[in-house]
Structure 1
Amino acid sequence: MIESVFIGIIGSAIALVILILVALEAQYRQRPGNDLELTAGKWEFDLYEPQRYLLVGNLEFRNRTRRLEVMVPEIRAEVTLLTSGSLEGVTTTTHIIPRHTEATARSDHYWESRIVKVGGEDPIEISIDVQGQDLSDLKVAWVQIHYVTYGPQGRIPKTRHIVVPLKFPSTDDSKRWRPAANSDVLPIRTHLLTELDDPVEVVRRYVVPHAQAGDVVTIGESPLAIMQGRFIHPSEIHPGWLATRLCYLFLPTSSLATACGLQTLINIVGPGRVFVAFVAGAIGKLFGQPGFFYRVAGDQARLIDDVTGTLPPYDKFIVLGPDNAQGIVDQIQRETGLSAAIVDVNDLKAVKILAATSNLSINFLKQALITNPAGNADEQTPVVLIRPTESLLDRASVKPESAGTH
């Protein structure tokens, strides 16, 4: 009798301990931990002279946790310049200055550890002084801000990548109209588009000066995704069991043929969906019906560009497909009057229309873009203006292959 009571007490205690552990694990998984965001900020030139650029960015740390403070004990900035010429004799100096209300600038540029309050915003200023005999060949500054978050999840190093354009082409650089099926096309040269750009403003700046009533503007899906900040450095991806096993089974040219590329998709749609998609794809191939993986896994499976898939410095990143592509083209039409489409085009004459304004014919767009006038190399012409040679802008009977919303 005593033994059975003792066993019952032990069993209840064990059950209680298990319940407490489960509850602790559940609350841990629901908490954001060191959820501290560093914004891309606003960047301006304080000086833009032939032999000196002084670039200043105003950014903010934002504590997105509901009840926890997060500290920033360390921060430093590293700058990589991209140029069409040589960097010999070109120097860069960076300084990070706290701009919160209690901050006092230190002449030794020492970073004093900061607590970012719950829901708080802590501004910082980053200045980049670039000097050299001739800076005219510089294209962009790739700013890598390395910082440490310190809080309930421990000490976690992070990096914020911001690409700042340094060279801006004139609208006169885009003059070469080319004949296409039922239209003429004009590849539009822009600066290297970055997260600091807005798609509508890019159209206003580079396209509107060339456009007339009835013209159509198309934007590549990867440049749009980059403007939306939808790119991830592989160092932030931690491949799991599923990604490290399945990636070997994709074609070598696929962006899902690396553990980080496939894990990026898993992070978006979940491991269950990716596994089911893989099984569906394998069964489909057995019956001579390829493509089931991408149908089940969703649009992002086709749109992810792995490392080397885009222009430098984005060749170091995994670039996702764009978000809310339909909303973007509708906004462009509403604010500029131009019909618009978001497209994915390659040199193999594959044209995919992710989203288009309602007055456009999908067949017309495919015919106009089939020769890939934007190019797949370093042309830096992510936008194409299409001028129909006859009335083809009737309401499309075929919907875009993807709405671009994820």
Structure 2
Amino acid sequence: MSELRIIPVPTRILTEDDDIAEAIAYYAGAEVTRDDLVCCAESVVAVTQGRFVFPEELDISAAAEFCCRFIPDYGSLASPHGMQALMDVEGKWRVAAALFAGFLAKLVGKNGMFYKWGGKEAAMIDDVTGTMPPFDKAIVYGPAEPDLVARKIAARVGAFGAMVADVNDLKRSRVVGVSGGVDGAPAARLLLDNPFGNASQKTPICIVKNYRQYQEGHTA
């Protein structure tokens, strides 16, 4: 089997004026083969789609001020502006009801239900400092149509596949979008050490070399 390697790819700062597939082709295309998986940080995909808001643009409600107190300090919704950003897209009453129901679910041993019931953005929003400058000063929503984005990336660079992933330094790795033929589960496990560098490193893209052979050997 060919050697499996993960190669972080440096870029310039990507903005809403960029097309993510074209940016990946420019910065990583020469490295990609038909055996490789191209991965991109979900927050950077969202930025290129213009899916972000700055805290000063939000009108913070009393409900957001109250509800954010029940989120752990490390969470993106623990600040009033993070919570308000969620309420603006998912609805104030839905979020508040999901928070209350999630608390009740915890009492019977079911954790994480708030993020299931609070709408898809509940688990996707990145608060300030969550992505590449200057968007570290913005609240970034999840990307739109991530599976379609992954398919476009794979087709543009001629890769075995592509994946949009939500990875952090807390050993959390989650598939947000994936192209056809790619099993996201083993790919997500490979990213647990977070090869992305969304801050000063400017490496929001990585190439998993020889992933096709790896997947064939790790799936039934």
TM-score (norm 2): 0.91
2:46 aligned to 225, 240, 252, which one? 225
Contact 1:188/1:385 (8 A) holds in 2 = yes
Contact 1:346 1:375 in 2 (8 A): no
Partner SS for 1:247? helix
Give the whole-Å Cα distance in 1 for the aligned partners of 2:75 and 2:55: 16
Q: Are 1:353 and 2:168 matched, yes or no?
A: no
Structure 1 contact 361–392 (Cα < 8 Å) conserved: no
Cα distance in structure 1, aligned partners of 2:137 and 2:170: 24
Counterpart residue number, 1:285: 106
After TM superposition, give the deviation of residue 393 of structure 1 in Å.
4.0
**Residue 303 of structure 1 aligns to a residue in which SS?**
coil
Corresponding residue of 2:188? 366
CA-CA distance at 1:360 after TM superposition: 1.0
Identify if the C-alpha distance between structure 1 residues 318 and 219 changes in structure 2 by more than 3 Å, giving closer, same or farther. same
Deviating runs (4+, > 3 A) in structure 1? Answer: none
Quick check: 2:68–2:80 contact (8 Å CA) kept in 1?
yes
Tell me how far 1:377 sits from its aligned partner. 4.4
CA distance in 2, matches of 1:365, 1:220: 13
Give the counterpart letter for 1:226 in structure 2: V
Could you tell me which of 65, 72, 90 is aligned with 1:244?
A: 65
- Hey, what does 2:74 align to over in structure 1? 253
- Structure-1 separation of matches of 2:113 and 2:125: 17
Q: 2:116 aligned with 1:295, yes or no?
A: yes
Shift of 1:189: 0.5
CA contact (8 A) 2:90 2:118 kept: yes
> 1:376, CA displacement in angstroms?
5.6
> CA contact under 8 A between 2:35 and 2:212: conserved in structure 1?
no
Match for residue 33 of structure 2?
212
In the other structure, the counterpart of 2:92 is: 271
Deviation of the 1:285 alpha carbon: 1.4
Q: Deviations over 1:232-270 (max 9, x none)?
A: 111111012311211112111111112111111111111
Alpha-carbon deviation of 1:286?
1.3
The answer to whether the aligner puts 1:388 opposite 2:219 as a matched pair is: no
Work out the CA distance in 1 between the residues paired with 2:207 and 2:18.
Answer: 19
CA distance in 1 between counterparts of 2:47 and 2:131 reads 10
Question: Which ranges of structure 2 fall in alignment gaps of 5 or more residues?
Answer: none
Matches of 1:225 and 1:309, distance apart in 2: 12
Please tell me whether the aligned partners of residues 196 and 203 of structure 2 are also in contact (alpha carbons under 8 angstroms): yes
SS in 1 for 2:131: coil
Q: Which structure: greater strand fraction?
A: 1
Higher relative contact order structure (alpha carbons within 8 Å, sequence separation ≥ 6) = 2
Contact (CA 8 Å) 1:231, 1:317: kept in 2 or not?
yes
Structure of greater Rg: 1
CA distance in structure 2 between the partners assigned to 1:298 and 1:346 by the alignment: 21
Which of 142, 151, 161 lines up with 1:330 in the alignment? 151
CA contact (8 A) 1:347 1:376 kept: no
The secondary structure found in structure 2 opposite 1:300 is: helix
Preserved contact between residue 329 and residue 341 of structure 1 (Cα < 8 Å): yes
1:299–1:187 CA distance, 2 compared to 1 (3 A): same
Cα distance in 1, alignment partners of residues 18 and 211 from structure 2: 31
- How many aligned residue pairs are there? 216
Shift of residue 378, structure 1, vs aligned partner = 2.0
Contact 1:330 1:357 in 2 (8 A): yes
**How much does 1:293 deviate?**
0.4
Map of 1:64 onto structure 2? none
1:354 counterpart SS class = strand
Q: Distance in 2 between matches of 1:330 and 1:351?
A: 20
Q: Which runs of 5+ in 1 are unaligned?
A: 1-181, 398-406
Written as runs of structure 1 = structure 2, the 5 A alignment for 1:7-406 is: 183-338=4-159, 339-375=161-197, 377-388=199-210, 391-393=213-215
- Judge conservation of contact 1:187–1:381 (CA < 8 Å) in 2: yes
Does the 8 Å contact 1:224/1:322 carry over to 2? yes
- 1:201, distance to aligned residue in structure 2 (A): 0.6
Q: 1:200 to 1:311 in 2, by over 3 A?
A: closer
Q: Deviations over 1:98-136 (max 9, x none)?
A: xxxxxxxxxxxxxxxxxxxxxxxxxxxxxxxxxxxxxxx
